[in-house]
Amino acid sequence: MDIFETIKNRHSVGKVKADALPRDVIVQLLEAGSQAPNHFKVRPWRFVVLTGNGRNKLGDVMADSLRARQPDLPPEGLDKTRALPLRAPVIIAVGVDKPTEAKIPDLENYAAASAACQNILLAAHALSLGAIWRTGDWARDAKVKEFLGFESDQHIAGFLYIGYPESVGEYPLRPSFEDRTVWISS
Ligand SMILES: Cc1cc2nc3c(=O)[nH]c(=O)nc-3n(C[C@H](O)[C@H](O)[C@H](O)COP(=O)(O)O)c2cc1C
């Protein structure tokens, strides 16, 4: 698939089939993520791949965290939260390393991990998979971070939910770059 076609036609796909993805396909996605540019060659992304029961474990952690914050929440509310990670057969959580040296800006590590996320989304699209980048409060949740093996002050750039699409989505018509661009040539 042509790179421009891939970039233009990629769109978020929230509804995917429950069918598992072969491991070699997931590996292809991780390899794409690892090709992202990164300053000082620190490769500041950390991938945690959740499949099968791993997603249930994440759901349990999310429900526990919610219960701790909202003890009066009815069980249905907790069940809804517990089921969130089951929306796709594969979730790649992308953590961001904290800078190890003073010269490395935190923001640049975040930027590189985000570039890794986009690489994975583009690769998923090129492989005819459906994918969506999610964050929300769960990307900042202390219990979720602990479960994934991240430190409490480490960022999570995103949770990439990936699977076979339920249907071929409509290709998005996006606004032009024009109102977001200035040209300085003299
Ligand atoms: C950093 C980031 C976080 C996002 N978090 C969510 C999210 O929590 N839930 C969601 O439905 N979509 C989320 N998205 C996806 C955006 O909603 C989506 O990219 C946007 O609507 C544009 O649609 P497109 O991806 O089809 O071009 C996120 C995207 C980015 C870049």
**Model confidence over 131-142: pLDDT tens digits?**
999 999 999 999
Say yes or no: CB of residue 149 within 6 Å of ligand 1.
no
C-alpha 177/C-alpha 72 separation (Å) is 47
Tens-digit pLDDT profile for residues 108-120: 999 999 999 999 9
The 8-class DSSP code of residue 128 comes to T
**Which residue from 9, 11, 12 has its CB within 8 A of the most atoms of ligand 1, so it is best to mutate?**
12
Instruction: Determine the pLDDT at residue 112.
Output: 98
Is 69 a member of any domain?
Answer: yes
pTM recorded for the entire structure: 0.97
169, pLDDT greater than 80: no
Instruction: Determine the pLDDT at residue 26.
Output: 98
Say yes or no: CB of residue 133 within 6 Å of ligand 1.
yes
C-alpha 17/C-alpha 162 separation (Å) is 9
Is 61 a member of any domain?
Answer: yes
For the chain, how many structural domains are there in total?
1
3-class SS at 157? strand
User: In CATH, what number is assigned to the domain containing residue 135?
Assistant: 3.40.109.10
3-class SS at 99? coil
170, pLDDT greater than 80: no
Where is pLDDT greater, at 56 or 169? 56
Ligand 1 centroid from CA 58, angstroms:
20
Rounded to the nearest 10 degrees, how much is the dihedral formed by the CA atoms of 50, 21, 164, 84?
-20
Is 146 a member of any domain?
Answer: yes
C-alpha 131/C-alpha 135 separation (Å) is 13
Is 183 a member of any domain?
Answer: no
- Residue 90's DSSP bridge partners are 51, 162
**Amino acid letter, 175:** P
Is 178 a member of any domain?
Answer: no
Q: Supply the range of the domain harboring residue 37.
A: 3-166
Is 85 a member of any domain?
Answer: yes
Is 11 a member of any domain?
Answer: yes
Is 15 a member of any domain?
Answer: yes
